[in-house]
Chain A
Amino acid sequence: VIWGVLQFPGSCDERDALHACSLLGEARLVWHEERDLSGIEAIVIPGGFSYGDYLRAGAIARFSPAMGAVAEFAAAGGPVLGICNGFQVLCEAKLLPGALLLNEDQRFLCRQVDLIPENAFAAETTPERGSSSKRETISVPVKHGEGRYWAPDSVLDAIEAGGQVAYRYAPGQNPNGSARDVAGVSNAGGNVIGLMPHPEHAVDPLTGSTDGLRVFEAMQMVAA
């Protein structure tokens, strides 16, 4: 798969995302002023502070030329993974339901968490799937100030019923007060995924977990 990793002024996780994608295929950065995504088969919108996160996290990025192209790419069924600020951008762009609010305790946080895969996409990321040593959770870091997933109860009910909740924080590990422990969601079509935790920071044994790579592998299956 040929990957495109968006880069806005203020992005900061695009290098790790690019590295994760490079482990699986070709990858290149897409500058926010670019509109041409030809040849790209999967998009990653990385973490950081796009356009300084002024107004609300992710609010301004949705107006960039690159996001216009991503909206068309997503509408055509192309796989899009938004991580952290990328998740916030996708919510602001209305490509995903809900919003990310300031953490419940109003502090930036950074820690390793366990995620429970909930939907069909996430099930593909379960470690050692098919083997007897199968674990039920994946271990990845979170680091954010505005990561509290929120949507009206009617929307939460609908996305739960529709298999759009991708991951939940493991019991007792919800770090930010997210509604119903939601850590990641997908759109109705299943091709747009948003995650608050950072799979791109968990692809090398050096960082203690390689579970994050499975998220990128699952994106490849969406692209196929």
Chain B
Amino acid sequence: VLAHQGRPHDLGDARHAIGRLVDVEMATDDRADALAQLERMCEQLLANPLIEDFEIQTL
């Protein structure tokens, strides 16, 4: 949701977003399983999909 953090302010053409970064360390070699677990964590707790988008990156 745009302006999740309050009223939208006009910043011209500048793209702006306020969000949250969550580092998760998982002790597993099963990448697919880890991604599936992360997806579930994001959908059920770490983000509220109604108002927030999430993106999973692996290192």
Binding site for B on A (CB under 8 A): 55-56, 59-60, 63, 92, 98-99, 101-106, 150-152, 177
Contacts and interface: CB of A to CB of B under 8 A. Distances in A.
Interface of B: 1, 4-7, 20, 45-46, 48, 50-51
Contacts of A104: 6-7
Contact of B7 (A92, A105, A150): A105
Contacts of A99: 1, 48, 50-51
10 shortest interchain CB distances as A-B pairs: A106-B6, A99-B51, A104-B7, A99-B50, A102-B6, A102-B5, A101-B4, A56-B48, A99-B48, A104-B6
B18 to A, nearest CB: 10
A101 B48 contact: no
A203 B8 CA distance: 37
A106 B5 contact: yes
Contact of B45 (A60, A105, A150, A151): A60
B54 to A, nearest CB: 12
Contacts of A105: 6-7
A106 B46 CA distance: 22
B14 to A, nearest CB: 19
Contacts of A102: 4-6
Contacts of B50: 98-99, 151-152
Contacts of A60: 45
20 contacts: A55-B20, A55-B45, A55-B46, A59-B45, A60-B45, A63-B45, A92-B48, A98-B50, A99-B48, A99-B50, A99-B51, A101-B4, A101-B51, A102-B6, A103-B6, A104-B6, A104-B7, A105-B7, A150-B1, A177-B7
A102 B52 CA distance: 13
A59 B20 CA distance: 15
Given A60-B45, A99-B50, 10 more contacts: A59-B48, A63-B45, A98-B50, A99-B48, A99-B51, A101-B1, A102-B4, A102-B6, A103-B6, A150-B1
A150 B7 CA distance: 13
A185 to B, nearest CB: 14
Contacts of B5: 102, 106
